[in-house]
Amino acid sequence: MTNRYRIGDLATRLAVPTQTIRYYEHEGLLPKPARTEGNYRVYGIAERERLTFILHCRALDMTLDEIRHLLRLRDAPGQGCAEVNAVLDAHIGHVAERIRLLNDLQLQLKDLRARCESPSTSKDCGILQGLASFPTAQDGGASRAGGHGRRAQE
- Which residues ranging from 109 to 128 are in contact with a second copy (CB under 8 A)? 109-110, 112-113, 116, 119-125, 127-128
Q: How many residues line the site for Zn ion (CB under 5 A)?
A: 5
Sign of the Cα torsion 95, 97, 101, 103 reads: positive
- Per partner kind, with CB cut-offs from 5 to 8 A, the member of a second copy, DNA, Zn ion, none near residue 14 is a second copy
Name, in order, each residue with C-beta under 8 angstroms of 24's C-beta and a sequence gap of 6 or more.
30, 51, 54
The one among 41, 50, 69, 91 contacting Zn ion by CB under 5 A: 91
Distance CA(26)–CA(57), nearest Å, equals: 18
First vs last C-alpha separation in the chain: 41
> Is 134 one of the binding residues for DNA (CB under 7 A)?
no
List contacts with DNA (CB under 7 A): 6-9, 11, 17-20, 22-23, 35-41, 58, 63-65, 148, 151
